[in-house]
Structure formats: C-alpha cells, structure tokens
Amino acid sequence: MQITRSSPIYVAFTVALVLGASLSAFAAVLNPVADFPASQGDSGYWAQYLIPSMGEFFNLPMQAHYAFVSTESPWGIPKVAKSGAAILMHPGLEPFNADQWAILTFKASVEDDYSFSVQFADADPNGFGCTTNAVVFKNDAFNAPLFEVRSVSKTESPVISGTVHLAPGEMLRFGIAPGAEGYNDTTRLSQVAMTPEPGSILALAMGLAGGGLAGLRGRRMGRAGDV
Ligand SMILES: [Ca+2]
C-alpha cells in the first residue's frame, strides 16, 4: 500500500509524532512516592541522612533506619521510609549527638528538566505535632536551598513545587530538618498530582492535524484545477 499524505496511516503517524513532541517538551515528572526505592539506588532514589555540621551525607542502613514503623516517632535516629501512599521522614540526633536531616535523594542518570510537586505535613503519631523545616536543594547545597525552607507543623502543610535542570550525576534532594528541637518530628511527604494539561496537548495536536488537512484540501483543489 502506498502511503501518501492523505492516507490514514500518514495522518495517524503525524498525530503520534506531534503528541510525542509535545509531551517531550514537558519536563520529566518526579514522583518520589511511587518510585520510593525497595533498595538503595532503585530508580535513582536513595534514603539518606545529612549531618549539617559535617556537611556529609550518609545512606540509611535499611535494616535499622530505612524500615520505618508507622507508629513510632524516633527522636534519636533519622529515618526515611515508605508508608502507604506517602513517605515518612524524621530527623535525628544520633550517632554524633548533632542535628541530622532526613534526606530523600534523586540522582539523575540523564540530562533533563525535572519537575516535582510534593506536600509536607505533620505525621507525629503521638499527636504533639511535628515542628520541622522542609527543604529542597540540589547536590550538596543544603545551605542554599532552591526552594525556601518551610515550616511544617500541625497547622502548616506546605506544598513545594518546581522544575530543576539536572545533568547526569546531579541530585535533587528533599530534606527534613528538625527545626527548634527534634522530638515528635515525623513528617509526611506526599505526591501532589502533576500532569501536563491534556487540553493544551489536544489543542496543539488538533491544530497541526488541522493544518495538514487544510494542505490536503489545497492539493486536491490544485489537482482538480489541472484537469
Ligand atoms: Ca522539631
């Protein structure tokens, strides 16, 4: 079968190309909750903690800190763990009796713009309410967060959204700092839905497909005139 510009296959192929191009124009969307690693490094995610006084990041050992019991609110040990449709994070003080931040790290393997939208909320099972700061930063720059430090508490559940360009090996990090003190600081990170607006994609696709059909009509009229 000869494939011409008027053939349904050609039109379908064009629409698919347009849809693909318009989708790829959007940034990659990070969903740390859905992609939470079953083991360190899965899907580019690591559960870590940071000792700010040392400026060093450490992987959480899964057997002790990375498995998180939803009914506990450990003040001494930083934790990062999946719990239902959210990630629970808790800053800590051990083992050096210094502030530690709970960190969820995404490490890019391909260069792209990465978008994210996450909400932080109190998840203290004891009911006192967390008092934490949520920070999103690139690589090791915890002192210069890309997104403002926000207080998380019983009454404040901030959403932090943004787009960050990452080269291969660069990291986007979600951190929970203890704030004034490190007790009852279990903090929930949940995904806020992020999808490209279907209306804009459809409009773009229909616009280009419409242009193709108009061109087709023009060619047909031209042929008719040749007779
Ligand atoms: Ca606190």
DSSP 70-125: TT---SSS-EEEEETTEEEEE-B-TTTTS-BEEEEEEE-SS-EEEEEEEEEEE--T
Q: Rounded to the nearest whole angstrom, what is the distance from the C-alpha of residue 63 to the centroid of ligand 1?
A: 25
> How does DSSP classify residue 172?
E
Residue 202 region by backbone torsions, left for phi larger than 0, else alpha for psi between -120 and 50, else beta: alpha
pTM: 0.74
Q: How far apart are CA 78 and CA 177, in angstroms?
A: 10
29-191 has CATH 2.60.120 classification: yes
Q: Cα(82) to centroid of ligand 1, in Å?
A: 21
pLDDT at res. 70: 44
The counts of H helices and E strands in the chain are: 2, 12
CA of 74 to the centre of ligand 1 (A): 12
Ligand 1 mean position, distance from CA 182 (Å): 4
Please report the pLDDT score of residue 180 as a whole number.
77
**60 contact partners, CB below 8 Å, separation of at least 6:** 47, 48, 49, 66, 78, 79, 80
The rounded Å distance from CA 18 to ligand 1 centre is 49
* Segments making up each domain of the chain, as ranges: 29-191
Distances (CA, A) of 16 to 60, 116, 199: 43, 26, 16
Give pLDDT tens digits along the chain (227 positions): 566 666 666 555 555 555 544 455 578 999 999 999 988 899 999 999 999 989 999 998 765 455 644 445 556 678 898 888 999 999 987 655 678 999 999 999 999 999 999 999 999 988 999 999 999 999 999 999 999 889 999 999 999 999 999 999 999 999 999 987 778 899 999 999 876 555 545 555 555 555 554 544 444 444 443 43
Taking the CA atoms of residue 165, residue 168, residue 170 and residue 173 in that order, the dihedral angle to the nearest 10 degrees is 80
Distance 12 CA to ligand 1 centre (A): 56
Is the CA virtual torsion 63, 66, 67, 71 positive or negative? Answer: positive
Task: State how far the alpha carbon of 2 is from the alpha carbons of 37, 108, 218, 226, in Å.
Answer: 49, 43, 20, 22
CA of 33 to the centre of ligand 1 (A): 23
Phi, psi (degrees; rounded to nearest 5) at 125 = -70, -15
Does residue 131 sit in helix, strand or coil?
coil
| Residue 215 CA to ligand 1 centre (angstroms) | 64
Stated as kind and residue range, the H or E segment containing 163 is strand 159-166
Give, as residue ranges, everything with CB less than 5 Å from ion ligand 1: 131, 178-179, 181, 185
Residue owning tokens 């804009």? 200
Question: What's the gap in Å between 38 CA and the centre of ligand 1?
Answer: 28
Helices (H), the chain: 8-24, 198-226
